Structure 1
Amino acid sequence: MKATVRTQLSQSLNLTPQLLQSIRLLQLTAPQLEMELRQALDRNPMLELDEGEETGETEAEGHEAAADEAAMEAAAWDELPEPAFLSGMNGGVTLGDDDATARIVDGESTDFRVRLLKELELSWRRADLAVAAFWLDHTSDFGLLEASRAELEAVGMASLGLPARELEIVRQRLLNGDWPGLCAQDAGECLGAQLDRLPADPVQALARQIVREHMALLARHDARALAAVLGCAHADAEAAIALILSLNVCPVPESSQGTDGHVVPDVVVRKLGGAWRVSLNGRTLPKVRVSPHCEAGLSGARGDVGTLRGLLDEARWLVRGIAMRNDTLLRTTQVLVERQQAFLEHGEEAIAPLTLREVADAIGMHESTVSRITTGKYIQTPRGTFELKRLFAVRLEGAEVSGAAVKAMVKRLIEAEPPHAPLADETIAGLLARQGIRIARRTVAKYRDQLDIAPARARQRPRVAASA
């Protein structure tokens, strides 16, 4: 065997504990951050409550000094060169294509697609997971497909390069999996998948036939008509209807992450003097600082004080990390408020298209940073308290408005329609076209389903005769 020497060039980036802590602080919600700070106060004697002034709302002007100091002394996550470096590189070979910071332990996602894919990773092949992700990306929040199966199969064949049969096999696995009814074409298929999981008996068989062939009669709760077309007793038809009503029309389970039933806003925005002012809500969080007495005592201490110095460094990094988190949250929210002033003043129909990339470019950070700082964070506005994610909106294809704004327009038109002459989906599409918004009838139907509004035929009410 002959020994050889070879020169090899490689690039790598090691995430220090301080940088990992800074990234993790980004992801914490207000209750989680409060718990984190209280635990830090209990275990680290170098930290103390800052009771110098009453903790309240912190505006941008008073926050800049602390944020600038933190940015100079800490490793800023937004200055990382490229996401590829975070995935680990060895000898020019990428070990993974995911963002390494995304592997930091965090709470359960509120997006059911993320939760389900994480469960499927334990037992599904990578190729099947890619197909499952495609179907889930085209599934509404109610668990049904956003377009017809044929249309989505055509899209999947073009984007994934797979035959329709393989795409349908994966959809059937999702449809009849742990969340039965998911990725169904319609409510009938969704309910049918749930019925197939129940023990076979005469009532189950009748219910299966109803959801497969007589959904219109089921929608009217017409037990007599169902009994007539099924050729069964009236009591059996009612029992089948009761069984169907016990099913979940939305196959997406709720997140198991506990909630105390109320929302703590992280940011407060109000209009003062004709301008929108953004401030952090510090009323619910303990304000911590490094103890000046301990810091002064250690500055001239001699002997074995390594442990105490380690606690002091940990306290400094925590305080700086919180300052960086708050600065990022404040700057991100300021951009969101500036871009969505029309929404704050006029409502849903005025919400503008806005993406993570646009906000990231505005504050000079990466999209993943904006995603982390807005997930689970809430903003209090004159229009109510809601998640920051709501201020992002996808641009409607071929238009200068967002899909959320068009959905609000559809809702307004339906609410203003005459009860005896409800607007059909085609009519609504025509009314929107007059305003320069051209969308297909099926898009109107999709928004109507997301708003949980029945079709025009089911909304029709008889005209009330005028009294003499």
Structure 2
Amino acid sequence: MKPSLQLRLSQQLALTPQLQQSIKLLQLSTLELNQEIERILLENPMLEREGGDEESDGPVPVEAGEASVATAGEEYRIESSASSSSGDEDFESPGVTDMPDNIGEAYDSVSDDDIGEAAEWRTEGASRNGGGDDDDSDFQEFQAAATSLRDHLLGQVALMPLVDRDRALVQLIIEALDDDGLLLQDLEELLPLIPAEWEVELDELNIALHQVQNLDPAGIGARNLQECLLLQIRALPESATREHAMLIADGNLELLAARDFARLKRRLGCNDDALRAAQELICHLNPRPGAQFAPMETRYVIPDVVVRKQRSGWTVSLNPEAMPRLRIHRVYADILQQNRGVSSSLSGQLQEAKWLIKNVQQRFDTILRVSQAIVERQRQFFDHGEVAMRPLTLREIAEELELHESTVSRVTTQKYMASPRGVFELKYFFGSHVSTDTGGACSATAIRALIRQLVAAEDGKKPLSDARIAELLGQQGIVVARRTIAKYRESLNIPPVSQRKSI
């Protein structure tokens, strides 16, 4: 082996900080984007939200048309595409200096594998909001505290005429209930939790359990589904339907689940109308009586684009509520202009602020272009609904817009579109396809919609089997295997034919 010098030529994509930031912002959702901006606002004094000293924890509304960026001595203005008329134009920011012109092209050529560790960015403090004043009030402090199941039951126990010993046993059983209000532990398992000097026997625990089962809501303290239904039925006024429902719940639930109505009528000695009424009563019972007291977290979606119907057709525009209004801090920019070369850190932060403003606009411009292409391909969906959805892949959109497929994937993830037909994630419009007799293709979403329509219109006494549904779709020119129908039916939460049979 001899030491030698070799000269090689190779091409390599360098992930510069601005390119990394552009890729990161592109794949963030609206909520994550605002959290990231809030973090950068705390770290970079050269950047501020447009609108003065107003604090904001979420998306700040912007005026439709444009968002301005001002610095000392010069005016930077970023034009935002508000309609589909300018969606195909490349984004430019003439006022921002020293900015790479090919950021959009660069991240279009970056795939998920190319990012690697270089695309990892700090996320410390991303969950913090932009407010720092002690006088700021948290909205959650004003929310009324929801009553828990435990508090609801203990409030009733406090009104019961019980001695301290019995009250303690009732409270012990209440503490053992799960979130659904059911007692999944055996009473024998609760005995070791009671002080030995109390000398509590199993019969006393059964009495305490009976007292819990008499509390509101009905069904609390049940040890299984059958007991839960029986407790709720016993709480109803006496009637023939109540008696039939009790007989079904007490040992005949398997026949009801199997839709064996003939055997049920023989055991109950009733006709179709009586059995139908008892079945409807049982279906309206709650197998999880305590779930209504469980805390529920409501999550809201802020659409990134809005689709509207106009005379010229369907148009796409960015949602102003989702676009943050950012600008350069004028005071710090004045200081930097008057003292050039004094603070290199401020110069770097000014450049970073310009990068962020352009990258944010580049993000929304790319989202708008992809959304326009989707709406153009799926016009029939917006006109006629799911049955008119056409098959679409990420590659088709990527080739049409001359973007990388991974870029389209990032754009369509956790980005939402508001339309007259509802709010949809952009990925909703992509899906597999099934061949037709004419040599074309039918979207899987359209096939699911057709299956839903066929099941909704079927005769309850003779529901359609998967093979029959495949046959009906074949008559419409859509070739679908029975196993594919079963898979689509399960994805729609439609039970099999044996469970859809009615009286």
Q: Deviations over 1:68-107 (max 9, x none)?
A: 2289744424346955xx79xxxxxxxxxx3326973499
TM-score w.r.t. the length of structure 2 is 0.55
Q: Structure 2 matches for 1:156-305, cutoff 5 A?
A: 219-220=257-258, 261-292=299-330, 294-305=332-343
Q: CA deviation at 1:299?
A: 3.4
CA contact (8 A) 1:348 1:404 kept: yes
Distance (whole Å) between structure 2 residues aligned to residue 38 and residue 16 of structure 1: 22
* 1:461 corresponds to 2:499: no
Change (3 A) 1:102 1:432: farther
In the alignment, residue 501 of structure 2 is paired with which amino acid?
Q
Match of 1:104 among 119, 144, 147: 119
Q: Structure 2 matches for 1:288-437, cutoff 5 A?
A: 288-292=326-330, 294-397=332-435, 399-437=440-478
CA contact (8 A) 1:23 1:77 kept: no
In the alignment, residue 345 of structure 1 is paired with which amino acid?
D
Change (3 A) 1:443 1:54: closer
Distance (whole Å) between structure 2 residues aligned to residue 319 and residue 285 of structure 1: 11
CA contact (8 A) 1:57 1:283 kept: no
In the alignment, residue 357 of structure 1 is paired with which amino acid?
R
Q: CA deviation at 1:346?
A: 1.1
CA contact (8 A) 1:78 1:369 kept: no
Query: Secondary structure of 2:494's match?
Result: coil
Change (3 A) 1:434 1:63: closer
Please identify the structure whose Cα radius of gyration is greater.
2
Q: CA deviation at 1:416?
A: 0.5
Q: Which residue of 2 aligns with 1:67?
A: 91
Change (3 A) 1:57 1:277: farther
Query: Secondary structure of 2:347's match?
Result: helix
Distance (whole Å) between structure 1 residues aligned to residue 498 and residue 399 of structure 2: 47
Change (3 A) 1:33 1:3: closer
CA contact (8 A) 1:67 1:327 kept: yes
CA contact (8 A) 1:27 1:106 kept: no
Q: CA deviation at 1:372?
A: 0.4
Q: Deviations over 1:232-261 (max 9, x none)?
A: xxxxxxxxxxxxx99xxxxxxxxxxx9752
Change (3 A) 1:456 1:280: same
Q: CA deviation at 1:394?
A: 1.4
Q: Deviations over 1:204-225 (max 9, x none)?
A: xxxxxxxxxxxx9795399xx9
Change (3 A) 1:448 1:379: same
Q: Which residue of 2 aligns with 1:76?
A: 103
List structure 1 runs of 4+ shifted beyond 6 angstroms. Answer: 62-66
Q: Which residue of 1 aligns with 2:62?
A: 55
CA contact (8 A) 1:78 1:364 kept: no
TM-score w.r.t. the length of structure 1 is 0.59
Q: Which residue of 2 aligns with 1:23?
A: 23
Query: Secondary structure of 1:45's match?
Result: coil
CA contact (8 A) 1:41 1:47 kept: yes
Q: CA deviation at 1:460?
A: 1.5
In the alignment, residue 23 of structure 1 is paired with which amino acid?
I
Query: Secondary structure of 2:485's match?
Result: helix
Structure number with the bigger relative contact order (C-alpha 8 A, sep ≥ 6) is 2
In the alignment, residue 444 of structure 2 is paired with which amino acid?
G
Q: Which residue of 2 aligns with 1:12?
A: 12
Distance (whole Å) between structure 2 residues aligned to residue 309 and residue 364 of structure 1: 35
CA contact (8 A) 2:306 2:319 kept: yes
In the alignment, residue 391 of structure 1 is paired with which amino acid?
F
Q: Which residue of 1 aligns with 2:37?
A: 37
Match of 1:442 among 483, 490, 497: 483
CA contact (8 A) 1:78 1:366 kept: no
Larger displacement relative to structure 2 (285-294 or 326-335): 285-294
In the alignment, residue 348 of structure 1 is paired with which amino acid?
E
Distance (whole Å) between structure 2 residues aligned to residue 437 and residue 280 of structure 1: 37
CA contact (8 A) 2:108 2:403 kept: no
Q: CA deviation at 1:367?
A: 0.5
Query: Secondary structure of 1:14's match?
Result: coil
Distance (whole Å) between structure 2 residues aligned to residue 380 and residue 366 of structure 1: 25
In the alignment, residue 33 of structure 1 is paired with which amino acid?
L
CA contact (8 A) 2:307 2:417 kept: yes
Q: Deviations over 1:23-61 (max 9, x none)?
A: 000011111111222222232221122239971455135
Q: CA deviation at 1:430?
A: 1.4
Q: CA deviation at 1:314?
A: 0.6
Distance (whole Å) between structure 1 residues aligned to residue 408 and residue 32 of structure 2: 18
Distance (whole Å) between structure 2 residues aligned to residue 32 and residue 358 of structure 1: 28
